[in-house]
Structure 1
Amino acid sequence: MHYSGSVYRPPSEAHSLIIQVTVGCSHNKCAFCNMYKDKKFSITPMEQVRDDLRWAREQYSRVERFFLADGDALILPTAQLLEILGDIRSLFPECSRVSTYASPKSILGKTPEDLSALHAAGLDFAYLGLETGNDPLLKKINKGVTVAQQIEAGQKLKAAGLTLSVTAINGLAGSNGDWQAHAVDTAAALNAMHPDFIALLTLRVYTGTPMAEWIASGELVQPTPMELIRETKLFLEHIDCPGAVFRSNHASNYLVLAGTLNQDRERLLHECDEALRGDAPLRRFVELGR
């Protein structure tokens, strides 16, 4: 298999075969992220992708899931993606799911017909990083899109039949920023998208990012665990996505929460209250600093 630099995938893709159809991230300017700073964005030559798929077929008797890396496989021309999906379907008839990260710009660059064709060809699952539903904060972290564009992107994926998983970042506004607006607006954006899965991560600060510089200068104050839980509770009070699977159990989260909305919301709020009273254990972390 050909891999360039560090390769990332969502936690739920732990058992997927990763095919690096692009290298890096087509945007790669988010203030909080250092994931793809070790590489320049490029599109993997089609013959190399085919070589990897043929090699995998020779090595593995059964591959049920594929993840198309790196940060934004949907930036590829639709025709090329259809070729890749066709090769997967031909070589791995047992495959039950193909998934990818998807940036809002790449989604918006596809027509509804493009996305429907990709879904029909086997693209089943997309991960979209909302981060926040608050426009001033989205601009500050240099996401490169507006909240309205994020919502439109999520709705386009859903309309095409893809399963949609959306992530947001708890604590992104800092404890000295408008964390209330971040929590409430993020819930509102998710309500408009109505994704199938919602993942609430916790802000981690990595050396060399603009976010780390803001922390060092005092422009942004990193929230304490209790402040993060307070923000999570406010978010849950405003979320309205019946049937969506909610998870706040990433390695970055101090308080582990899991349930299905809206039916488990009261239990989740109760668990937040328990933690705020000091009656629930919290995870402890050493800052990564990378």
Structure 2
Amino acid sequence: MELVYDYPLYRPPSEANSMIFQVTLGCSFNKCSFCNMYRTKEYSERPWDEIKAEIDTMSKFYPDTSRIFLADGDALNMPNDRLVQILRYLYEKFANIERISCYAMPKNLLQKTDAELKELRDAGLHMFYVGIESGNDIVLKKVTKGATGKSIVQACSKARKHGYVLSCMVILGLGGKKYSKAHTKDTARVLSEIAPDYVGALTLQLEDGVHDEFMSKYGEPFEFIDDAEVLDELEGLVKEFNPQTPVVFRANHASNVYSVGGTMPKDKEKILSLVQNLKSHPEMLKPKSLRRF
């Protein structure tokens, strides 16, 4: 028995074995010029009766479900009372839940009051996946992220204060050649301030559906960085990322030139050594034909 989804459907790689419930469709912001995920959908919140019926059905077929991901890209945009209702019902129907997670934009987190975030945490929402993309304000504005480095830190710190697990994504190459160093430096600074539980570094690739929009919104000529410069950014990011608590760092997305990972700051030198070796042996990099965003 499988759910009937409204495609396209996305979830983080670490939610591969989770049960997914689409409580919202699309993205309420949907303006990030690098993202093609929900451009074919208009944002909407699904009716409670539909969500409840799906939970009822799946709990009968998969009663031992332990992890649940709430899709689409914007579950946290729902009114708190509805989201709490969903969370409580999930725990009522699934006895072995270990984790419930969802995507969260910085604006979602800032729009929720402290009391609302606490209420959701108390109701059993555990983890947020937050797209940081960059810590540099110029780059964030050019890609219409709808956030600044400061607001991203504020949003993530707010979530951390209430005990949420945070997994944050950044995008290598998002500043192009011109802003590469500033993008790397400011992204490392923002990540260091937040010290999320997990960091995932992707590499920019533009799908056909947003390529022209990205170039237009950027406001000036954009030059993609090459593989050697991707490694430079990765090296700079790791060098300048100095969290005060352990952070699992991964650059193993399908878009990356090579799979790199470890726990920061413990494995910093090991990661840097690997990157240096890759610079000397570009033949080890993943063929471009196998990379996708």
TM-score normalised according to structure 1 size: 0.95
Alignment match, 1:158? 160
What does 1:233-252 align with in structure 2 at a 5 Å threshold? 233-241=235-243, 242-252=245-255
Q: Secondary structure at the match of 2:90?
A: helix
Q: Secondary structure at the match of 2:289?
A: coil
C-alpha distance in structure 2 between counterparts of 1:214 and 1:47, whole Å: 42
Alignment match, 1:106? 108
The offset of 1:85, in angstroms, is 0.4
Question: Could you tell me whether the CA contact under 8 Å between 2:255 and 2:291 is conserved in 1?
Answer: no
Q: Alignment identity in percent? A: 36
* Comparing 219-228 and 83-92, the one that deviates more: 219-228
What does 1:192-271 align with in structure 2 at a 5 Å threshold? 192-210=193-211, 214=215, 219-241=221-243, 242-271=245-274
The offset of 1:73, in angstroms, is 0.5
Relative distance call for 1:211 and 1:200 in structure 2 (3 A) is: farther
Which segments of 5 or more consecutive residues in structure 2 lack a partner in the other structure? none
Question: Could you tell me whether the CA contact under 8 Å between 1:22 and 1:44 is conserved in 2?
Answer: yes
Which segments of 5 or more consecutive residues in structure 1 lack a partner in the other structure? none
C-alpha distance in structure 1 between counterparts of 2:235 and 2:85, whole Å: 45
Q: Secondary structure at the match of 1:95?
A: coil
Q: Deviations over 1:169-195 (max 9, x none)?
A: 0011112x2100000000001111110
Question: Could you tell me whether the CA contact under 8 Å between 1:204 and 1:287 is conserved in 2?
Answer: no
Aligned partner letter, 2:255 = S
C-alpha distance in structure 2 between counterparts of 1:42 and 1:100, whole Å: 16
Alignment match, 1:83? 85
Q: Deviations over 1:8-51 (max 9, x none)?
A: 00000000011001000111010101000111000011111101
User: Aligned pair 1:276/2:279, yes or no?
Assistant: yes
Question: Could you tell me whether the CA contact under 8 Å between 2:99 and 2:127 is conserved in 1?
Answer: yes
Question: Could you tell me whether the CA contact under 8 Å between 2:256 and 2:291 is conserved in 1?
Answer: no
The offset of 1:286, in angstroms, is 2.0
Q: Secondary structure at the match of 1:19?
A: strand
Aligned partner letter, 2:215 = W
Alignment match, 1:49? 51
Q: Deviations over 1:71-92 (max 9, x none)?
A: 0110011111110000011000
C-alpha distance in structure 1 between counterparts of 2:159 and 2:292, whole Å: 34
Q: Secondary structure at the match of 1:167?
A: strand
Q: Secondary structure at the match of 2:208?
A: coil
Relative distance call for 1:227 and 1:168 in structure 2 (3 A) is: same
C-alpha distance in structure 1 between counterparts of 2:109 and 2:211, whole Å: 26
